[in-house]
């Protein structure tokens, strides 16, 4: 956790490269003390300083960008074989091994899409559950019977209402 409050909002929570740049910018101060304040090892800073910067050619940069784009368009489903085919189709010289290295370098991890799986379809050999309530349900017949019963109930109620109305409107 950052000593000055929220995570990621102070110089101490930055990546080591940023810390090393800061240390390098402070020329007059002792390096050991700056490394201690920044929370990095002096030997790691020294190794970073001696390491040469990695230069990427323009062609490699275009290849990396195209590989990322194709991978994203495929919804992260292209493996090294399919991605190398697509890159070759786009005009890049990328075999399967090179594509595999590019995917590793760019951290392109294939995410397998799970197809929709039908869970209610039963196999013919499966046993059918025991009918414990002994109900014989006929979907068509029971539906018609229920509607007929409701219709008869509705007519009986409306006749009763009308009989009451007619009886009260007759002269005595």
- With a CB cutoff of 8 Å and minimum separation 6, the contacts of 12 are 2, 3, 4, 38, 39
The Cα–Cα gap between 164 and 121 comes to: 56
pLDDT by residue for the chain (172 residues), tens only, comes to 444 455 555 545 567 888 888 888 887 888 888 888 888 888 988 888 888 777 888 999 999 999 999 999 998 999 999 999 999 999 999 999 999 999 999 999 998 877 777 777 667 777 777 777 777 666 555 556 666 777 778 778 877 776 665 555 555 5
**CB contact at 8 A, 6 and 17:** no
pLDDT attached to residue 102: 93
């Amino acid at each position: 956790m950052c000593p000055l409050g929220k995570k990621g909002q102070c110089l101490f929570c930055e990546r080591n490269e940023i810390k090393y740049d800061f240390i390098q910018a402070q020329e007059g101060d002792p390096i050991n003390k700056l490394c201690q304040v920044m929370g990095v090892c002096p030997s790691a800073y020294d190794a970073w300083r001696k390491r040469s910067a990695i230069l990427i050619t323009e062609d490699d940069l275009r290849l990396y960008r195209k590989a990322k784009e194709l991978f994203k368009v495929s919804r992260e489903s292209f493996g090294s074989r399919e991605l190398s085919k697509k890159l070759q189709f786009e005009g890049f010289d990328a075999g399967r091994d090179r594509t595999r290295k590019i995917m590793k370098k760019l951290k392109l991890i294939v995410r397998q899409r799970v197809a929709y799986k039908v869970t209610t379809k039963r196999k013919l050999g499966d046993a059918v559950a025991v009918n414990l309530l002994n109900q014989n349900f006929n979907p068509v017949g029971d539906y018609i019977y229920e509607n007929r019963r409701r219709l008869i109930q509705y007519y009986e109620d409306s006749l009763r209402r009308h009989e009451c109305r007619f009886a009260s409107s007759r002269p005595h």
